[in-house]
């Protein structure tokens, strides 16, 4: 049976699906998506989670960072992705300053959920816990995001690997536990040492998705443009151009999914000590 037919027969992936995969030690894959055509391609090839990321500011809008992306931008692209997705879990970013207060987060999360998101993602540690609790209490599933947080790039002084010192590693683990306790059902951890990501993944009961966080997280996510090697700017160390070794885009995505599932990606050269 072809992957396309398999996709049509698969049930919609939920957080419960990912929880079961974590418990069984099965790795799952995630890609960013911004339109219907690529969303369908990714869905047909078995990608488990599609993220409408504020990375669209960089790869779609050509901006230097993600700060110019609006809720309306994310909602538009979420509609495009959801209409073409049969089984993958659809997660949408709450962009910069769209969740400064719990009330604001609820209003903007409602916009994204009505556009087709099944979960919203927000960046931050302990300071967003009240917001996470408020969203979950109002039936909005939340994916938290810690480590390197692109919306805080100017505060962090650039795109730097996090968790290098013992103090910073302990902070990241503390933040991970805090957002889980607040009700987050997924966690993205970005650009941290492999050792820190492993400790976080083992400490949490919720699935952990890594990007630049080594091979020990429950899932892996890449920006689709990086995975195809077509980003206009710098391709990060933690990414890989899967199109180089593939005949076409479908084969590249299939290779990404299988390499994640079988533990071949990320390799040592894509991870941080």
Tell me if 139 is assigned to a ligand binding site: no
Tell me if 54 is assigned to a ligand binding site: yes
Q: Which of 120, 36, 106 is nearest to 74 (CA)?
A: 120
Q: What is the largest CA-CA distance in the chain?
A: 51
Q: Which of 164, 224, 150, 222 is nearest to 196 (CA)?
A: 164
| Whether 230 contacts 252, CB under 8 Å | no
Tell me if 123 is assigned to a ligand binding site: yes
Tell me if 35 is assigned to a ligand binding site: no
Q: State the residue for tokens 């911004």.
A: 34
126, 167, 190, 262: which is the annotated catalytic residue?
190
β-partners of residue 208 are 187
Tell me if 121 is assigned to a ligand binding site: yes
Q: State the residue for tokens 């059902």.
A: 185
Residue 131, phi-psi category: left (phi > 0), alpha (psi -120 to 50), beta (remainder)? alpha
In order, the DSSP letters of 126-177 are GGGHHHHHHHHHTT--EEEEEES-GGGHHHHTSS--B--SHHHHHHHHHHHH
Q: Which of 216, 213, 188, 212 is nearest to 202 (CA)?
A: 216
C-alpha–C-alpha distance, residues 93 and 269, integer Å = 28
* Angle between helices 71-83 and 36-44 in degrees, nearest 10: 50
190 catalytic, yes or no? Answer: yes
Binding-site residue set for Mg(2+): 54, 93, 123
Binding-site residue set: 54-55, 93, 121, 123
Residues serving a catalytic function are: 190
Binding-site residue set for 3-methyl-2-oxobutanoate: 54-55, 93, 121
């Amino acid at each position: 049976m072809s992957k396309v037919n398999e996709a049509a027969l698969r049930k919609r992936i939920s957080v419960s699906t990912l929880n079961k995969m974590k418990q069984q030690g099965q790795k799952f894959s995630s890609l960013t998506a911004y339109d219907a055509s690529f969303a369908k391609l990714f869905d047909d090839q078995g990608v488990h989670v599609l993220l409408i990321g504020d990375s669209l500011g960089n790869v779609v809008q050509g901006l230097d960072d993600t700060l110019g992306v609006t809720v309306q931008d994310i909602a538009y692209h979420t509609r495009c992705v959801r209409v073409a997705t049969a089984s993958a879990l659809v997660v949408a970013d709450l962009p910069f300053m769209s969740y400064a207060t719990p009330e604001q987060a609820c209003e903007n999360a409602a916009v994204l959920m009505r556009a087709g998101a099944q979960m919203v993602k927000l960046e931050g540690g302990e300071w967003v816990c009240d917001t996470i609790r408020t969203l979950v209490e109002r039936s909005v599933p939340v994916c938290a995001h810690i480590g390197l947080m692109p919306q805080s790039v100017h505060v962090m002084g650039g795109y730097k690997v996090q968790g290098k010192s013992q103090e910073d590693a302990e902070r990241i683990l503390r933040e991970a536990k805090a957002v889980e306790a607040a009700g987050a059902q997924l966690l993205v951890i970005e650009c941290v040492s492999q050792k820190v990501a492993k400790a976080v993944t083992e400490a949490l009961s919720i699935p952990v998705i890594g990007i630049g966080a080594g091979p020990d997280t429950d899932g892996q996510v890449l920006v689709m443009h990086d995975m195809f090697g077509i980003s206009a700017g710098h391709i990060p160390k933690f990414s890989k151009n899967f199109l180089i070794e593939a005949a076409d885009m479908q084969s590249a995505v299939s290779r990404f999914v299988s390499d994640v599932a079988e533990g071949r990606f990320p390799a040592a050269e894509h991870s941080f000590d």
